[in-house]
Amino acid sequence: MQIQGWEMTAVGAPMEPATRTVDALGEDQVLVQVAGCGVCHTDLGFRDDGVPTRHPLPLILGHEISGTVVDAGSTASRWSGKDVIVPAVIPCGRCALCEKGRGSICPKQIFPGNDLDGGFASHVVVPAHGLCEVPASNGNGRVELADLSVIADAVTTPYQSILRSGLAAGDLAIFIGIGGVGGFGVQIAHAMGAHAIAVDVDRVRLERIASYGAALTLDAREYEGRALKEAVKAFAKERGLPTKEWRVFETSGTPAGQVASFGLLTHGGYLGVVGFTPRRVEVCLSHLMAFDAKAEGSWGCLPEHYPAVLDMVLRGDVQVAPFVERRPLSSINETFEQLGAHAIRDRVVLVPDSA
């Protein structure tokens, strides 16, 4: 089997066309024909910022993958012919950490496009044990299989952080940065009955997310430092909402966003760190003690949560299509350049040209 893809060969260099040959599958492996692969800012971190991949270069990136299983190993035959979403982080499911429910830090986890060739290709070879099946009805066809690829990171990653925060109906949830992960987080929080606040520097994004669950939108350029917290507090008082125990989610992956998120901590509050930047920030950690608050990172999402997220999308509680832009895989270099220049607002899904 010949796989056609685009590989990263060096930091800062354009992706190059590549061919991989699959001679045989392992017993727990499947060959997925890619329907779509979302482009994440983590991919830009690998190519543009020098964030090291765990597999040496050259490597085909891409970890938001949906597609159809076209071949399977001996113990994975039940997956043949099924439409699936490939989790961005696939724990082994057998080690001591996995048995404790800590698969996110499983030392044997597989991260497509990091540990092995990923989804910027016609096909991808991945373990079968983490797959999420897309039902044949697929929400009565409302959602394209390619668009469902973004569930593999942009939707499930904020979902796991929201679960860990203990967010419940009536709570206040604040998302700093809504360009993808944060926008889906707003929708998830709204679907759970929480009051979601969206904070960003892009007014177009803010105007749009107001129609998809944001009870309040704030332009971060107009509220610096303490002013942002005061604006949220005024909204909470106006609505009769708690002024303590806010759930804050840093989903921008920027130093400014991380500082702003930490500044929103309240007594008993929770800070979920979802976005990533290799750059450092300066905050006063003693605020965690003074507020009896908690800050927690969240790495990907455990595969067992994927079916619940998929159900939310297929029911229409979380909309993906309005926030996705499909492009041919051959546009990968142009797409990376535009994303790096912040010239694209939507989550780009690259579709193999022959699809």
Q: What is the pTM of this model?
A: 0.95
Question: Is 305 within 8 Å of 160 (Cβ atoms)?
Answer: yes
Task: Please give the Cα distance from 245 to 294 (Å, whole number).
Answer: 10
The first and second tokens of residue 106, run together, are 């499983």
Domains of the chain, each with CATH number or no CATH:
2-153+304-351 (3.90.180.10), 156-297 (3.40.50.720)
Q: 249 near 158, Cβ under 8 Å?
A: yes
pLDDT in tens, 39-98: 999 999 999 999 999 999 999 999 999 999 999 999 999 999 999 999 999 999 999 999
> How high is the pLDDT of residue 139?
55
Distance CA 156, CA 312 (A): 11
Q: What is the pLDDT of residues 332-343, one digit of tens each?
A: 999 999 999 989
Strand partners, 86: 65
The whole-angstrom separation of Cα 84 and Cα 145 is 9
Q: Which residues of the chain have pLDDT under 70?
A: 138-141, 355
What is the residue whose two structure tokens read 């952080």?
161
> Per-residue DSSP letters for 245-263?
S-EEEE-S-SHHHHHHHHH
φ/ψ of residue 97, rounded to 5? -70, -40
333-341 contacts, C-beta under 8 A, 24 or more apart: 333/14, 333/15, 335/39, 336/15, 336/39, 336/43, 336/44, 336/47, 336/48, 339/39, 339/41, 339/44, 340/44, 340/48
The long-range contacts involving 48-51, CB below 8 angstroms and separated by at least 24 positions, are 48/11, 48/12, 48/336, 48/340, 49/11, 49/278, 50/11, 51/278
Between CA 3 and CA 331 the distance in angstroms is 18
Q: From CA 87, how far away is CA 200, in angstroms rounded?
A: 28
d(CA 110, CA 5): 19
Q: Among 276, 170, 258, which residue's Cα sits nearest to residue 220? A: 258
- What is the residue type of 203? R
Pairing of strands 64-72, 2-8: unpaired
Decide: 212 and 322 in contact? Cβ < 8 Å: yes
Contact 273, 259 (CB under 8 A): no
What's residue 278's pLDDT? 86
Euclidean distance between CA atoms 299 and 322, whole angstroms: 26
